[in-house]
């Protein structure tokens, strides 16, 4: 990072009023902060970030500088070397406003090497994770999940000593074996049923006994919860948009169910319960109006199967259930255990790379029929992409994914993106016919979204990056979308209309004239302009509404300053 880039970072911090998820600011005037290692660990275990030494956040991000930048760089490098594995950070010094600022760029560490921790403390005491603008200690369960991700989990093929062969449904097994023998070739036709089921990880030996594996019990068991009571799912329908808020009749829940049984049955029953609490609505599809459920059934099935198949089945998580929460404005599905392997949230739906912590369970369900003749799931890495396509065809927003190590959450907004108002707005643009993906992206950008090529694909279901680039270029060429940046950093947002010149009052002009010299506090503005306290307060409020000034620092702070917003990037600047 050079001086110019650092200046932009500093402007952004002042406008934001605090450091954030990818930036930690420390004054470091008296020497190396004792908690620096925590920020290094936290950034490494998350998305990476910048550590800035020599800037005072409490004083509105004023550059205070460090006394000996060379020594500070060496100390930061030594702390990076004390981490396990060692951190390959980029450390350099920039000079701003006469002060030396040390910058440390911490890269994210690959998932299979997490948790990055301080070697002397060990993973349980020495691991941190970045949350908002702070560094939080990882819980014992989060550390266990990350350590388990370093190797291939085998929990799904573990024997269940409390179960026996009689606990498996012979009719389901017969259908499963018939499909296997029809599709897998001669190898399974030459062995008996028990041998085939052992080869397929449905059965395994526990000493001298042949018992179901956990995967076999969860798929074919009459009632798997006899042996594992908490390996089920819960469905709660709330009357309000937040849990705990009572409905109009004083009810806490509209529905509160625990759903047991094998995985195929739980998925089917959960969908039935959700439908009982869903409405049907009309959506516009081309020139037709069709009635559909609030959430398409295909999407629900894919999300539920994903939650049950990819959840954590380790001993630490056996007491946790898959949770389904229905609110008036959204549907939330949450499972224990975050993403496994090299898969990242940002690549979901845009890449066919797959990684599952329960490979045997997934393999069994590939050949287990669902009620409609399809298999319960397919192991091709296209499930989420198909969800996006179906939601796009229904004119709905894409889901939001969240991975916080201990759990994975998918949230479906409950409203139609391409409603009549949005379609009217699109028609008013006077463009040539747009594809469904272009219409979806345009409305999302109008609602405030800033998209990248991968974000466009994740939001619309477009699979190929070149197709996404072509569709985005068409919107840019039409003048309805603005493009910023190049190559991997390119972003797209809806084009802002040209605004009329802002008309200022005499008092507003006096305040802006004073701020052109440097950011000032409200008290300093009173002295510089000769205006009263009320006049300055009113002038700052109206200038803020006109987008001319911004508060630098936290509201009500004595050190908060006011600065001019640059028209180019809408950030407060210091001339």
- Percentage with pLDDT > 90 across the chain: 53
The pLDDT, as a whole number, for residue 433 is 86
The H or E element that residue 467 is part of is: helix 465-477
Check residue 172 and give left, alpha or beta (phi > 0: left; psi -120 to 50: alpha). Answer: alpha
| Banded pLDDT at 573 (limits 50, 70, 90) | very low
Cα 557 to chain centroid, rounded: 32
Number of CB atoms found within 10 A of residue 61's CB: 27
DSSP E strand boundaries for 27-133: 49-53, 55-56, 62-63, 83-84, 90-96, 99-106, 117-118, 128-131
Cα 442 from Cα 74, distance rounded (Å): 49
Res 175 pLDDT > 80: yes
199-216: per-residue pLDDT in tens? 999 999 999 999 999 999
In 3D space, the residue among 484, 487, 480, 476 whose CA is nearest the CA of residue 454 turns out to be 487
Sign (positive or negative) of CA dihedral 438, 441, 447, 449: negative
What integer is the mean pLDDT of 357-374?
Answer: 88
The pLDDT, as a whole number, for residue 92 is 94
What integer is the mean pLDDT of 311-335?
Answer: 94
Q: Where are the alpha helices (DSSP H) in 128-276?
A: 140-148, 170-183, 193-199, 214-220, 263-276
Cα 565 from Cα 551, distance rounded (Å): 10
Res 466 pLDDT > 60: yes
Res 233 pLDDT > 70: yes
Look at the block and give the residue holding tokens 């991700």.
Answer: 149
Cis before residue 489, ω within 30 degrees of 0? no
Q: Which residues contact 502 (CB under 8 A, 6 or more apart)?
A: 546, 547, 548
Which position has the higher pLDDT, 510 or 282? 510
Instruction: Tokens for 547, please give them.
Output: 């987008």
61-106: per-residue pLDDT in tens? 999 999 999 999 999 999 999 999 999 999 999 998 888 999 999 9
382-392: per-residue pLDDT in tens? 778 888 888 87
Cα 460 from Cα 458, distance rounded (Å): 6
428-453: per-residue pLDDT in tens? 888 888 887 888 889 888 877 889 88
Name all domains of the chain by residue range, CATH numbers in brackets: 3-138 (3.30.950.30), 151-414 (3.30.565.60), 420-494 (1.10.10.10), 506-573 (1.10.10.10)
The H or E element that residue 300 is part of is: helix 297-310
The pLDDT, as a whole number, for residue 290 is 57
The pLDDT, as a whole number, for residue 557 is 64
Cis before residue 81, ω within 30 degrees of 0? no
What integer is the mean pLDDT of 268-289?
Answer: 74
In 3D space, the residue among 80, 100, 104 whose CA is nearest the CA of residue 92 turns out to be 104
Check residue 522 and give left, alpha or beta (phi > 0: left; psi -120 to 50: alpha). Answer: alpha
The pLDDT, as a whole number, for residue 558 is 67
What integer is the mean pLDDT of 4-15?
Answer: 85
Exposed e or buried b for every residue in 172-202, given b needs 16+ CB within 10 A?
bbeebbeebbeeeeeebeeeeeeebbbebbb
Cα 30 from Cα 54, distance rounded (Å): 10
The pLDDT, as a whole number, for residue 501 is 56
Distances (CA, A) of 24 to 51, 288, 313, 489: 5, 52, 36, 22
39-72: per-residue pLDDT in tens? 999 999 998 999 999 999 988 899 999 999 999 9
Cα 224 from Cα 237, distance rounded (Å): 25
Q: Nearest 5°: CA angle at 409, between 405 and 410?
A: 145
What integer is the mean pLDDT of 370-381?
Answer: 74
What does 515-529 look like in DSSP terms, one character per residue? HTTS-B-HHHHHHHH
328-353: per-residue pLDDT in tens? 889 999 999 988 877 777 778 666 66
Number of CB atoms found within 10 A of residue 450's CB: 13
The pLDDT, as a whole number, for residue 258 is 96
What integer is the mean pLDDT of 6-28?
Answer: 89
Instruction: Tokens for 397, please give them.
Output: 């927003």
547-572: per-residue pLDDT in tens? 788 887 666 666 778 888 754 433 34
The pLDDT, as a whole number, for residue 132 is 86
């Amino acid at each position: 990072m050079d001086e110019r880039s650092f200046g932009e970072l500093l402007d952004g911090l002042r406008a934001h009023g605090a450091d954030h998820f990818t930036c930690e600011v420390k004054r470091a005037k008296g020497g190396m902060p004792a908690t620096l290692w925590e920020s290094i660990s936290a950034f490494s275990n998350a998305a990476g970030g910048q550590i800035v030494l020599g800037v005072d956040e409490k004083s509105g991000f004023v550059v205070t500088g460090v006394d000996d930048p060379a020594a500070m760089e060496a100390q930061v490098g030594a702390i990076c070397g004390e981490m396990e594995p060692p951190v390959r950070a980029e450390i350099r010094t920039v000079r701003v406003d006469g002060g030396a600022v040390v910058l440390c760029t911490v890269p994210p560490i690959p998932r299979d090497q997490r948790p990055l921790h301080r070697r002397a403390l060990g993973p349980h005491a020495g691991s941190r994770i970045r949350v908002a603008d702070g560094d939080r200690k990882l819980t014992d369960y989060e550390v266990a999940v990350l350590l388990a991700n370093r190797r291939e989990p085998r929990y799904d093929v573990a024997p269940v000593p409390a179960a026996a062969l009689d606990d498996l449904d012979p009719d389901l097994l017969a259908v499963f074996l018939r499909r296997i023998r029809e599709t897998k070739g001669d190898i399974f036709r030459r062995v008996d049923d028990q041998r085939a089921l052992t080869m397929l990880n449905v059965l395994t030996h526990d000493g001298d006994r042949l018992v179901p594996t956990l995967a076999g019990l969860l798929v074919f068991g009459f009632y798997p919860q006899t042996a594992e009571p908490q390996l089920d799912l819960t469905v709660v329908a709330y009357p309000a948009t937040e849990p705990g808020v009572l409905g109009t009749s004083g009810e806490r829940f509209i529905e509160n169910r625990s759903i047991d049984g094998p995985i195929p049955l739980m998925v089917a029953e959960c969908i039935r319960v959700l439908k009982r609490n869903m409405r049907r609505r009309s959506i516009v599809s081309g020139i037709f109006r069709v009635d559909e459920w609030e959430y398409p059934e295909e999407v629900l099935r894919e999300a539920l199967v994903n939650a049950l198949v990819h959840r954590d089945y380790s001993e630490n998580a056996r007491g946790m259930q898959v949770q389904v929460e229905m609110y008036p404005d959204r549907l939330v599905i949450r499972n224990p255990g975050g993403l496994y392997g090299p898969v990242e949230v940002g690549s979901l739906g845009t890449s066919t790379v797959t990684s599952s912590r329960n490979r045997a369970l997934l393999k069994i369900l590939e050949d287990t029929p669902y009620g409609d003749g399809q298999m319960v799931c397919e192991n091709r890495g296209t499930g989420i992409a198909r969800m996006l396509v179906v939601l796009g065809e229904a004119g709905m927003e894409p889901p939001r994914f969240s991975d916080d190590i201990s759990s994975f959450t998918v949230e479906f907004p409950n409203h139609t993106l391409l409603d009549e108002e949005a379609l009217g707005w699109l028609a008013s643009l006077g463009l040539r016919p747009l594809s469904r993906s272009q219409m979806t992206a345009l409305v999302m950008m109008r609602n405030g979204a800033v998209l990248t090529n991968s974000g466009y694909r994740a939001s619309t279901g477009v699979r190929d990056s070149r197709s996404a680039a072509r569709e985005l270029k068409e919107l840019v060429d039409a003048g309805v979308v603005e493009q910023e940046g190049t190559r991997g950093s390119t972003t797209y947002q809806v084009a802002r209309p040209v605004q009329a010149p802002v008309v200022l009052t005499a008092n507003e002009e006096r305040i802006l004239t004073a701020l052109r010299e440097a950011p000032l506090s409200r008290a300093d503005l009173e002295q510089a302009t000769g205006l009263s306290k009320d006049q300055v307060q009113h002038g700052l409020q109206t200038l803020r509404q006109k987008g001319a000034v911004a508060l630098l620092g936290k509201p009500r702070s004595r050190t908060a300053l006011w600065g001019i917003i640059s028209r180019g990037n809408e950030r407060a600047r210091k001339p």
